[in-house]
Amino acid sequence: MAQAKTLKQSELDHVLEYVSKRKYPLRDRAIILTSFLSGLRVGEIAALHISDVVADDGSIKTEIRLRAEQTKGAHPRTVFVSSRLREALATYHASRAKTAPDLPFFHTSNRSGFSANGLCVWFKSLYDRVGISGGSSHSGRKFFITTLANKGIGVRILASLAGHRSIAVTQRYIDVNDEQKRNAVELI
């Protein structure tokens, strides 16, 4: 199976612009940014409940604690939420009519939670509609890991952020291009 495309910032901006004109712009923006700015897997995004994301005082948490049953490897982990992502999540949450803690954080048009597979299809369909070939539900994770790697974040930290038990897995997520190689040789 081919690896997911790692989107460029301009492609991500194009996707965000596209969803801003769709039926559920705040939800869609929050889902996309959750993938791209936290590196969560789609199954983890689908498994989020309001109580996972929203603190008792109504603010968005700075850390999301995923329970073992919410993760791929059944290992609990902490996801750190950037200020940019907290802003998008807060805007979306404020738009929701129902905010009971046990409800799915992201819901479909019929108000039920997304399944992991349903969210995979949602991402694939979105990328197809905007003309991004090779985009998939994993593109956000690859963007997250590659972007941080390009900013000098070490692979052990990246593995921890991604919830990988092995840095070898994390290294497969890091895309390399000719511009990076040109810049690298200029450091000598």
Convert the pLDDT of each residue in 97-143 to its tens digit.
888 999 999 998 887 899 999 999 999 999 999 999 999 999 999 99
Of 102, 122, 99, 146, whose CA–CA distance to 42 is shortest?
122
pLDDT tens per residue across span 138-170: 999 999 988 998 888 888 888 888 887 878 777
pTM: 0.90
Residue 1 lies in a domain: no
Residue 41 lies in a domain: yes
**Both tokens of residue 45?**
């995004």
Of 77, 112, 91, 74, whose CA–CA distance to 33 is shortest?
91
What's the total number of domains in the chain? Answer: 1
The type of residue at 58 is G
CATH of the domain at 74: 1.10.443.10
Residue 147 lies in a domain: no
Residue 80 lies in a domain: yes
The rounded distance, in Å, linking the Cα atoms of 40 and 144 is 9
> How far is the CA of 183 from the CAs of 35, 39, 94, 174, 187, in angstroms?
28, 26, 43, 16, 7
Residue 18 lies in a domain: yes
Residue 46 lies in a domain: yes
Residue 176 lies in a domain: no
Residues spanned by the domain of 41: 9-140
